């Protein structure tokens, strides 16, 4: 699976770690639902840290399609709400379960 983190690049990610990402994604969804920008920023940083820790970065010149796209940690509530509308809103950014 290829995950793109906006403004950071792409990471090859083993699907066996999806539970880690789902827990982080739940926190992102909860922050958006609460309208809490501070909590959103913290949750996005945690999600991105997990992706970077557990994933393998792809070269900058790689042309692989991304399976998932995650906003950067500086994304606003409005940015994330817009991105979630394009994704399956019940599942957040990471498929598998929602809050």
Cβ–Cβ under 8 Å, residues 60 and 18: no
3-state helix, strand, coil in the chain (%, to 5): 50, 15, 40
pLDDT at 45: 97
What integer pLDDT is reported at residue 94 of this predicted model?
77
Strands of 1-99, DSSP E: 2-5, 9-12, 56-57, 68-70
**Beta strands at 68-70 and 2-5: parallel, antiparallel or unpaired:** parallel
Q: Specify if 42 maps to a domain.
A: yes
The answer to whether residue 99 is domain-embedded is: no
Q: Which domain holds residue 27?
A: 2-86
Query: pLDDT value at position 84?
Result: 82
Task: State which residues of the chain have pLDDT below 70.
Answer: 86-91, 95-99
- Chain mean position to CA 64: 18
96 in any annotated domain: no
- Give the per-residue pLDDT at 96: 62
Reported pTM: 0.86
With respect to residue 92, please indicate whether it lies within any of the assigned structural domains: no
Residue 43 lies in a domain: yes
Domains contained in the chain, number: 1
Tell whether 26 is covered by a domain: yes
């Amino acid at each position: 699976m290829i995950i793109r983190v906006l403004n950071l690049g792409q990471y090859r990610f083993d699907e066996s770690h999806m539970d880690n990402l789902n827990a982080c994604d739940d926190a992102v969804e909860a922050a958006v639902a609460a309208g809490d920008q501070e909590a959103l920023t913290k949750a996005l940083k945690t999600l991105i840290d997990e992706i970077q820790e557990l994933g393998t970065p792809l070269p900058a010149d790689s042309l692989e399609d991304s399976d998932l796209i995650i906003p950067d940690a500086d994304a606003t509530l409005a940015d994330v709400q817009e991105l979630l509308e394009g994704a399956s809103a019940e599942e957040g950014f990471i498929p598998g379960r929602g809050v």
